Homo-oligomer: A and B are copies of this chain.
Amino acid sequence: MKLGAIEGGGTKFICGIGSADGHLLDSISIPTTTPEQTLGHVMQYFAQFDVQSIGFGSFGPVGTDPNKSNYGQMLNTPKPHWAGFPMLSYLKTQLQMPIVVDTDVNMAALGEATWGAAVGLDSCLYMTVGTGIGAGAIMKGRIVHGFAHTEMGHLLIRKHREDTFNGNCPFHTDCLEGLAAGPAIEARSGRKGALLDREDQLWELEAYYLAQALVNIALVLMPKKVIMGGGVMNQTQLFPYIREQVKHLMQDYLELPEDWIVPPGLGKFSALKGALVQARMNV
């Protein structure tokens, strides 16, 4: 049995073919242009394979409730051409098979819980820190959804007293994403994060913000594992800084599980493999 997986992002759509036990047999990267063109290429790709079912992890915000009319629809994104586009029904015009849509980060959390750093645990959090910040959670083995998918990138956090950068979230100015995503790092320092020295004190500030978010998420969910991925987390010096800040902010109030904060067990394939898990559930 072959399963399909899509990780749809603002820059590229990655499509893959995999087996039910999580092995990727093939994959392709398609640049994100207009929805019609991008999803047209996606459909062409899958047409070559005998796929039973597809899991689609998308950038957001996206309708994730199968009982709502906006299921599989891109919602209010600033990305030109995409807001309101009915991605799922467009894909269904050519792909006559079950397709499950959720956010890329929810898929990543599911992938890590199934085959990655959170194997055997019934709860985990996956957070990506890159151009944006997003997170998905698994609790009791299932993706956390309420009246919408979660939006942890916009958590309200405390600004550091020595941080003179205002924040650049178009909605909330100085929320987590506005203070700690890649563009905030670049706006604050005048250089891309990847060009900053590993010893730059900006990384401690970054860790302070990410740790605040993790503390608040922990108090609400108590996930047994926290997996942090995304381009900014390639700065691996962040991991010890974040762990230390989390400990400091918790003030020994909570005893956290050992090795609580870790990099992805599936490398860059967390979301794509999570989409395979969803595809498998839906055969």
Provide the bound-state CA to CA distance between A159 and B156, in Å.
Answer: 12
When chains A and B are docked, how far (Å) is the Cα of A219 from the Cα of B248? 24
For chain A, which range describes its interface: under 10, 10 to 19, 20 to 34, or 35 or more residues? 35 or more
Residue in B140, B147, B157 whose beta carbon sits within 8 Å of that of A123 in the complex: B147
Minimal beta-carbon separation of A261 from chain B (angstroms):
13
Decide if A158 is an interface residue (CB 8 Å cutoff): yes
- Return 6 A-B CB contacts under 8 Å, by A number: A147-B224, A152-B219, A156-B215, A171-B251, A216-B220, A220-B221
Query: Residues of B contacting A249 with CB < 8 Å?
Result: 156, 172
Inter-chain contact B254/A137, CB cutoff 8 Å? no
Residue A47 CB within 8 A of the other chain? no
List, in ascending order, chain B residues with CB within 8 A of A198's CB: none
Across the A-B interface, the 5 shortest Cβ-Cβ residue pairs: A146-B222, A171-B253, A123-B146, A220-B220, A147-B224
Is A233 among interface residues, defined by CB-CB distance under 8 A? no
Partner pick for A253 among B139, B151, B157, B253, CB 8 A cutoff: B151
In the assembled complex, the Cα of A55 lies from the Cα of B149 at a distance in Å of: 32
Q: What's the minimum C-beta distance from A171 to chain B, rounded to whole angstroms?
A: 4
A257 close to B (CB within 8 Å): yes
Chain B residues with CB under 8 A of A254: 148, 151
Chain A interface mostly: loop
A120 to B144, CA, bound (A): 18
Contact between B142 and A140, CB atoms less than 8 A apart: yes
New A-B pairs, 20, CB < 8 Å, besides A147-B256, A155-B220, A216-B216: A123-B146, A139-B145, A139-B146, A144-B220, A146-B222, A146-B224, A147-B257, A148-B254, A149-B222, A150-B221, A151-B219, A151-B254, A154-B219, A156-B157, A156-B158, A156-B212, A156-B249, A158-B158, A172-B251, A220-B221
Q: Kindly state whether residue A223 has any CB partner on chain B within 8 Å.
A: yes
Task: Identify the closest chain B residue to A217 (Cβ).
Answer: B220
Decide if B219 touches A146 in the complex (CB within 8 Å).
Answer: no
Q: Using known A-B contacts A139-B144, A146-B123, determine if residue A152 contacts B220 with beta carbons closer than 8 Å.
A: yes
Question: Separation in Å of the A65 CB from the closest CB of chain B?
Answer: 11
Least CB separation from A154: chain B residue: B219
Q: Give bound CA distance, A69 to B147, whole Å.
A: 36
Do A148 and B222 have beta carbons less than 8 Å apart?
yes
Q: Which residues of B contact A251 (CB under 8 A)?
A: 171-172
Q: How far is the CA of A151 from the CA of B142 in the complex (A)?
A: 21
